[in-house]
Amino acid sequence: MSERATSESTARHPTRLGGRGRGAVWIPVGVVVVIVALLAGLFAFGLGRNPTVVQPVIVGKVAPAFNLSRLDGGRTLNLSSMRGQVVVLNFWASWCADCVVENPALRSAFQRYRDQGVRFVGVSFEDQSGTARGFAKQMGMGWPLVSDPGTNTAIAYGVTGVPETFVIDPDGRIVAKTIGPVTYSVLSEQIAHAMPGGA
């Protein structure tokens, strides 16, 4: 290969040189745009596939029976004993941030409906009973709390994580299921719907 003399001035001020002007700019720019658009489409596809949308097939079915011991020891709590009343069944854990988030909504609903024959039950989910009791006390969970050894009840209800909240009508059928934190208005609506005479 031969030495190729290079002119410094060519290098320093190449702007005005060469046969290619501004018109030629759009070809490389267009290529960049197309490639980036393809990449972006691919990544957008990656973002689009979200497998967390769940069909609550359990809604409309008879609520699975349970007989669980209370967190504070002693007696057990049987679902069949609450037949004839609306039951709000809330699966929760002391390590669950969204359970803290939904706590005020649950407490408000409890205050409003406790005298109207609506029963609230909290099922502790994969937790240590001491920690769970401390959490419940601090958070003012004044309704009956039960433990679920072996997670059998949670499995029967198809619980995939906490919090999940089921509303059961007086006939023992599940009429609503909420995945994630409940809000006061949605829960109130579900309860009203389940109550005798509710639409």
Task: Residue 58: count other Cβ atoms within 10 Å of its Cβ.
Answer: 16
Side-chain half-sphere of 137: how many Cα atoms within 13 Å?
Answer: 8
Q: How far is the CB of 118 from another protein (least distance, A)?
A: 22
Asked if residue 150 binds another protein (CB under 8 A), the reply is no
The span of 7-15, 67-75, 82-90, 165-173 binding another protein (CB under 8 A) equals: 7-15
Q: Which is nearer to another protein, 41 or 196 (CB)?
A: 41
Q: How far is residue 70's CA from residue 60's CA, in Å, rounded to a whole number? A: 27
Q: How far is the CB of 134 from another protein (least distance, A)?
A: 5
Q: How far is residue 141's CA from residue 93's CA, in Å, rounded to a whole number? A: 12
Among residues 76, 128, 152, 185, the one that binds another protein under rule CB under 8 A: 128
Q: Residue count at the site for another protein (CB under 8 A)?
A: 48
Q: What are the φ and ψ backbone dihedral angles of 52, each rounded to 5 degrees?
A: -90, 0
Strand 118-124, strand 145-147: pairing: parallel
Asked if residue 62 binds another protein (CB under 8 A), the reply is no
Q: Which is nearer to another protein, 3 or 115 (CB)?
A: 3
Show the binding pattern over residues 91-110: x = contacts another protein (CB under 8 A), - = does not: ---xxxx--xx-xx------
Indicate the helix (H) or strand (E) that contains 68: strand 67-69
DSSP string, 73-103: SS-EEEGGGGTTSEEEEEEE-TT-HHHHHHH
CB environment 100-123: b (16+ within 10 A), e (fewer): eebbebbbebbeebeeeebbbbbb
The span of 1-9, 70-78, 156-164, 169-177 binding another protein (CB under 8 A) equals: 1-9
Point out which residues bind another protein (CB under 8 A): 1, 3-4, 6, 8, 10-12, 14-15, 17-18, 20-21, 24-25, 28-29, 31-33, 36, 39-40, 42-47, 49, 94-97, 100-101, 103-104, 126, 128, 131, 134-135, 137-140
